Amino acid sequence: MAIKQSNLQIEIKKKRRETMKKRTGRVLCAATLMGMLAGSVIPVCAAENGDSLDPVTLHFIFYGDKKSATDEVWDAIADYTRDTLNCDYEIQFIAGSDYKDKLTVMAATGDVWDMNFDSNWTGITQMMAKDAYLNLDELLPEYAPDLYAKYEETGVLASAKNKGHIVCLPWTQTMNNRPFFQWRGDLGEKAGIEVDKDNFGTWEDIDKLVYQMHEAYPDRYVISKSQMISGGWAEVDADMGLYINLSDPECKITPAEEIPDYVTAMEYAEKWQKDGIIWKDVLNDQTDRNALLNEGKIITRWGTHEFAHSKKNWVEDGAYWDFVEVYKDDLYANRSPLANAMAISATSENPERTLMFLNQLETDQKLYDMVQYGIEGETYVLNGERAEYPEGMDGTNSNYMGWGGQWALWKPQYMRPTGGYTDNFWEEEAEYAASSDKNLYSPLEGFSFDATDVKTEVAQRNQIFGDAQKLLEVGLAGDTDTALEKIKTDSEGAGFKSVLDEYQRQIDEFLAAKDK
C-alpha cells in the first residue's frame, strides 16, 4: 500500500518547506554573493549558514552491519558540517538479510526517517511503487544544484523516475553485469586442478569445476547458490522475476520460469544441493557471505568484472581468486544506475537539509573522505593518495571502512585507491563496459512500472516468486520442474496475466515515446 498522510500533515509539511525555502534561499543568495567576492562559497558562508538554519537531526539508513566507530565518525561529520548544514546525524544499519523486508515494513507503517540506501537488488521498485519515496522534481535542483548538474551530465535521471517524477538519487558509476566464474586459484593449484581458461565458459565447465573443488576440499563450502548466467536476458523486475531478451526489439516481458536458461540454473541448484556442493543449512546460516569468502570457507563464487579484479582481504596467506568470463558471445546489460541509489523517504521531515548534505558531498573532498573512510588515523590512514586500514585492521575487523551502502555515495572525482580497489580501477571498469558491442544498456533504461492498477496482483506475484526463488536457487525447493510449475499455477490464480499485460502495455508506450 502507498504511504498515506493526512491533509493536516501535508499542509504542515508544505508550510514548513515554504519557510525553509525562504530561509535557505536567503542563506544561499548571501553565500553565493559573498563567495563570488571571495572566490569560494563554503568557507565564506559558513557562519551565516550556521546562524540561519535551525538545528535538525538527519536520520539515514544504510545496508549491512553497523561498524563500531560509526557514531564517532558521524559525530565528527556533524562538527565539520555545523557551519554549513547545522545538523546532527542518526545513522541506522539494517542487516543485509533483513534489509528489503524491514524497509518495506517501515514504509508501510509510516516510520519517519530522512534518507536510505536502496537498489534494484534490495527492492527499490517495490518502494517506488508504494510511493515510499519523496518527489524531488523541485527540491533536487534547488537544494542540490551541483548533484543535479552531475545527473544531467551523466544522463541517469530517467532511471531515477517513477510515474514521471524523480524519486531517488542513483550512483554515477559505469559497469557491466557480464558474469564471471571465480574459484580459489591457490586451492585449485594445490589440488592439481587444471582449468583450460581459453575453452572454459559453459554450465558444463562450471559443473565439472565445482565437483573437482568439492572432492579436493570436502570440508569447505563450494558455492552458495546457482543463478541464471546465459542467453542475453536482462532483468527488468527482480521482485517479480521479469526479464527481457536484449536481442528482442519489442522487449517482450518474460517471467523467469518460462526462460530455459533460468530453468537450467535451477536444475543445477537442485543437483548441487543433493551432492553437497551447496550446503544443507545455507538458508539458516546468517553468516555474512563476504566474511565466509574472506575466511576461505566458500571457495567458488559468481562474479563480475569488478569482483574478479578487486582485491580481497584474505585471512589465509597466499589466497587469490582465479576467474574466467562465461558465455562471452552473449549480450549483457550494463549495470543500471539503480544498482546503488539513495532515496529520501516520503515521511522525511528534513528533505531540504538532506539534499544540501548530498550537494556538499558532491563538492567537498574532505566531507567525502569522512563519509567514506572516517577519521584519519583512527579508522583509516593515508599512504600517499591511498586510503588504507590502520595497523591491525582489515576488512574483517574494520571499525568503519567498507561499510555497507556506501556504494550509492561513491563520487568518481574523489574516490581514493583502497586495499580492494587500486589506482584507476573505476576508469578500467568503465573501459571494460565500453570494450564490446555486446555490452550495452538495456533498452528499458529509465523505464519504471506504475503498478497502481494491479497493485494487489503485483504484491501476490512478489510473494509467490520471492518465496519460491529463495528455495530454488539453493536447491531446496524439491523437484525443480514441480516447483516451477507451482509458480506458474499460483501466479495464474493470483491474476498474474493482468500484471504481464499491464507491464507490456507500459513498455510498449515507453518504447514508442523513445522513438518519437
- pLDDT tens for residues 172-218? 888 898 999 999 999 999 999 999 999 999 999 999 999 999 999 99
What does the pLDDT read at residue 364? 98
- Furthest-apart CA atoms within the chain: distance in Å: 73
Mean pLDDT of 154-179: 88
- pLDDT tens for residues 357-407? 999 999 999 999 999 999 999 999 999 999 999 999 988 899 999 999 999
Residue 123 pairs with which residues in a beta bridge? none
Flag whether 368 is in a domain: yes
Q: Hey, which bits of 363-512 come out as E strands?
A: 381-383, 386-388, 439-440
Q: How many other CB atoms are found less than 10 A from the CB of residue 199?
A: 9
What does the pLDDT read at residue 24? 52
Amino acid, res. 125: T
Flag whether 325 is in a domain: no
Among 1-15, 76-90, 287-301, 437-451, where is mean pLDDT lowest?
1-15
List CB contacts of 179: < 8 A, sequence separation 6 or more: 227, 229, 302, 303, 304, 325, 326, 327, 332
Evaluate whether 337 touches 125 at the Cβ level (below 8 Å).
Answer: no
32: domain CATH number? Answer: 3.40.190.10
What does the pLDDT read at residue 94? 97
Rounded to whole angstroms, the Cα distance separating 29 from 76 reads 27
Among 59-68, 261-270, 281-290, 341-350, where is mean pLDDT lowest?
281-290
Flag whether 379 is in a domain: no
What does the pLDDT read at residue 14? 52
Mean pLDDT of 487-500: 98
- pLDDT tens for residues 279-290? 999 999 888 788
What does the pLDDT read at residue 516? 60
Confidence of residue 51 (pLDDT cuts 50, 70, 90): low
What does the pLDDT read at residue 349? 98
| Among the listed residues 293, 271, 298, 279, the one whose alpha carbon sits nearest the alpha carbon of residue 207 | 271
Confidence of residue 48 (pLDDT cuts 50, 70, 90): very low
The average confidence (pLDDT) of the chain is 89
Flag whether 109 is in a domain: yes
C-alpha cell at 217: 576440499
What does the pLDDT read at residue 425? 87
Confidence of residue 29 (pLDDT cuts 50, 70, 90): very low
Strands 165-166 and 115-118: unpaired
**Domains in the chain: how many in total?**
1
Give the structural domain span for 70.
Answer: 7-169+337-373
- Distance (Å) of CA 311 to CA 131, 321, 420, 425: 39, 9, 4, 11
Flag whether 45 is in a domain: yes
What does the pLDDT read at residue 496? 99
What does the pLDDT read at residue 335? 87
Confidence of residue 5 (pLDDT cuts 50, 70, 90): very low
Residue 12 has pLDDT above 50, yes or no: no
pTM: 0.72
What does the pLDDT read at residue 336? 85
Strands 115-118 and 87-94: unpaired
Flag whether 488 is in a domain: no
Write the DSSP string, 432-465: HHTS-TTEE--TTTT-----GGGHHHHHHHHHHH
Residue 26 has pLDDT above 50, yes or no: no
Residue 52 has pLDDT above 50, yes or no: yes
